Structure 1
Amino acid sequence: MTNFKLDIEINNETYTETQLNRYKYERALHFLHEVIDLGFTPKTSDGQSVTPIELNWMTPADVLALAVATHTAMGSAGTLDLFKDILIDSDNRWHAFNQRPIEEQGVWIGTTHLTAHGIDPASFGMAMGGLQNGDIPFQIMPEHYYFAGDITKEPQTIMETFGMLGEPTLTYGTGGKEIPSYVHVDRLADHPSILAGETFLKHDDFNIHVGAIHQIQPLPDGLDIVSSYFCPKDAPKAIADGHTIHFALELGGALQIAAQQQS
């Protein structure tokens, strides 16, 4: 299976790799400007400090590489310390978005549909299980700040920005096979595998009613994945819309890693 091909639709619109890579670059740029504002100085591979103006003149490839290097240089403890006040604010906002019962307000839903050819389904499972390893989370999506644990086996701690809007939130996610009752997503009969997850604030175990339903269909030479992201309707709809792009980068990146590992 060496002829890898990936098709992506987001809310029934086709997205190209070029479009998605542009989003990835812009979010990396956003991340780097923010850490500079917070007091951290990114440095190039030869140790040169990068100013905000110099950052804006860097190529997309160099910006993406600098984002990965910056995540690594900050480390998990440094990241949590740098963003500590922002994380408190994010927690407060998610509490506010959930003041009304979720059954009353409902959820926004966005859908990402990926069809991959030229890949062994087992390789994708291994790639997803290793998403938390080393620099991989940062390479796939610049707004992954911290990952720990394999959600297919245990609660997974995640610090990320939902929907490319707002600020990062420190959470943990749980995974299972049952779609939450308040999420009106159809169970696809032709997609036998499912991973349904909900998200909780790390500091107080509060269910913020954010999560995903990943439904997977093996193909003769690949996989078809339908991923539905949900968040409360009292949160901005733009979060659900934006996280479909986040999923396209995250799952698409995992599929590409799997294809590379088997070639």
Structure 2
Amino acid sequence: MTVYPELTVTIDNRPVQWEEIKHWKAKRALVVLQLFADYGQKVILKNQTLLQDAFHDLSDDDLIQAAKETKLALGPNKILELLQDEFKKSDEMWHQIIARTPQDAPLKEMHIQLDVKGLTITKIAQINIQNGFKTGLSNKEIAILEKAYDLHPEHYVFSQKRNIQDVVETFGEYGSPTHFNLMMLDAKEEKFLDKIDPRTKKIIFGKGLLASDQFDIQQYALHQFIPTKDGLHVDLGLFAPAGVPDTAIVGHQRHFAIEFSSLFINILKQMHSQPE
């Protein structure tokens, strides 16, 4: 039985329940744990070091928690240092993708849909989302990292200065982790104006560049928040170069599903815990 029936996720016209999405999340957490183990790093769960042979015995919850604890223990600077070779492979992949994409080829477009009953844009603004991620640490950067790690295991590094997000994640569960700079832009001033639903009240729009050389990877995210009669509808859109493999596009559907379902589940938990 779904714990949070207020949340409905639709991918390719198929309703997907939170239990399935959470299992996707755990499988990606295992990828993270294996990557750090391959680099000779300790994997930590509940402040204890895990043996690599024990990974397959962990529950979904423990896999997700271990990925979070391990990344927090390493810290972003160590993670960036460890993954330099992965970034080089990923940067080369993106340069190859753009090289094999015809100049005038249309972007590949992908969407998934989320509906949340009882939630409005105003309520999202009123809820202190950070409350769901407290661990007694007062450092603001650590709090932001915790939030990013809770949303998706394959968020390795996250920070934001002004309109630029510095992010390390695996695009579409494909290849090596990529070090991105995501520029948050005004979609109404860009070429995506025709993609905006007239009912939309809030937009998140970003463009990806490689952090190493600011290479334009021609990848965009356009997320639209639309009020409904009983809550909120969210259209999560991805636009990527024609040279990106379809497997990566499908993988990023799952990435969005994990990331935003985790966000709304944490908001719903807070709403459930508050007195009427």
Going from structure 1 to structure 2, the CA distance change for 1:221 and 1:102 (only over 3 Å counts) comes to farther
Give yes or no for contact 1:231–1:239 (8 Å, CA) kept in 2.
no
Alignment of 1:215-226 (within 5 A): 215-226=224-235
**Superposed CA offset, 1:12-39 (max 9, x none):** 2211111111101111111101110111
Please say if 1:234 is aligned against 2:235.
Answer: no
Of 163, 170, 174, the match for 1:154: 163
Alignment of 1:29-48 (within 5 A): 29-47=30-48
**Structure 1 equivalent of residue 25 of structure 2:** 24
Give yes or no for contact 1:127–1:257 (8 Å, CA) kept in 2.
no
**Superposed CA offset, 1:17-72 (max 9, x none):** 1111110111111110111011112123243x322211111222111111110010
SS of residue matched to 2:184: strand
Whole-angstrom distance in 1 between the partners of 2:240 and 2:40: 31
Alignment of 1:15-164 (within 5 A): 15-47=16-48, 49-100=49-100, 103-125=103-125, 133-149=144-160, 154-164=163-173
> Alpha-carbon deviation of 1:88?
1.2
- Could you list the runs of 5+ residues in structure 2 that have no partner in the other structure? 134-142
> Alpha-carbon deviation of 1:155?
1.0
Going from structure 1 to structure 2, the CA distance change for 1:239 and 1:162 (only over 3 Å counts) comes to same
**Superposed CA offset, 1:190-211 (max 9, x none):** 2243222110111211111112
TM-score (norm 2): 0.84
Aligned length, in residue pairs: 257
Going from structure 1 to structure 2, the CA distance change for 1:256 and 1:127 (only over 3 Å counts) comes to farther
* Paired amino acid for 2:250: D
Alignment of 1:165-176 (within 5 A): 165-176=174-185
**Structure 1 equivalent of residue 197 of structure 2:** 188
**Structure 2 equivalent of residue 8 of structure 1:** 9
Give yes or no for contact 1:127–1:254 (8 Å, CA) kept in 2.
no
- Could you list the runs of 5+ residues in structure 1 that have no partner in the other structure? none
Whole-angstrom distance in 2 between the partners of 1:241 and 1:149: 27
**Superposed CA offset, 1:70-91 (max 9, x none):** 0101110110011111111111
Give yes or no for contact 2:222–2:236 (8 Å, CA) kept in 1.
yes
RMSD: 2.5
Whole-angstrom distance in 2 between the partners of 1:129 and 1:92: 37
SS of residue matched to 1:194: strand
Whole-angstrom distance in 2 between the partners of 1:252 and 1:94: 28
* Paired amino acid for 1:139: D
Going from structure 1 to structure 2, the CA distance change for 1:175 and 1:102 (only over 3 Å counts) comes to farther
Whole-angstrom distance in 2 between the partners of 1:230 and 1:15: 22
Going from structure 1 to structure 2, the CA distance change for 1:143 and 1:46 (only over 3 Å counts) comes to closer
> Alpha-carbon deviation of 1:178?
2.2
Whole-angstrom distance in 1 between the partners of 2:144 and 2:17: 27
Going from structure 1 to structure 2, the CA distance change for 1:206 and 1:123 (only over 3 Å counts) comes to farther
Going from structure 1 to structure 2, the CA distance change for 1:231 and 1:73 (only over 3 Å counts) comes to same
SS of residue matched to 1:233: coil
> Alpha-carbon deviation of 1:256?
2.2
* Paired amino acid for 1:143: E
SS of residue matched to 1:135: helix
Give yes or no for contact 1:156–1:173 (8 Å, CA) kept in 2.
yes
